[in-house]
Structure 1
Amino acid sequence: MSCPICSGDTDPKFRPFCSKRCADVDLSKWLSGSYALPSEDEDEALEALEEMERLVDQDRPH
């Protein structure tokens, strides 16, 4: 089995990754939404847009 990030040999300590670095890269992709699947559901799309707008409004100074 090879590391899904860099294709190197896996280390049993970090399996399925080869190192902590590759495990952290994978975690970062999950947290940033890089692994998200697109949705065809219009309600989910509207909810996501509303949530993004709410988050942007929170960051704006009053």
Structure 2
Amino acid sequence: MTTKPRPCPICKKPRSEEYTPFCSSRCRDRDLSQWFGDGYAVPGRPALPEEIVAEVIQGKED
């Protein structure tokens, strides 16, 4: 079964092998900007400060 190539998630143009899954560095940078600017979010409640500290401490112990 042949699957149809998926387009760039930002502008819908064909993907570039160099910038996969995007078509260009511009679209890649636009996507990164969305993450930095809170344009994207992972569903769920916000983490409590105590939970963040516990994760950091546990990460240092591993």
Aligned residue in 2 for 1:58: none
Bigger helix fraction: 1
With the length of structure 1 as denominator, give the TM-score of the two structures: 0.60
Q: What is the aligned length?
A: 44
SS in 2 for 1:26: helix
Q: Give the gaps of 5 or more residues in structure 2.
A: 1-5, 50-62
Deviation of 1:37 after TM superposition, in Å, equals 3.3
Q: What stretches of structure 1 move > 2 A for 4+ residues in a row?
A: 44-47
The amino acid across from 1:29 in the alignment is: Q
With the length of structure 2 as denominator, give the TM-score of the two structures: 0.60
Q: CA RMSD in A?
A: 1.8
Q: Give the gaps of 5 or more residues in structure 1.
A: 48-62
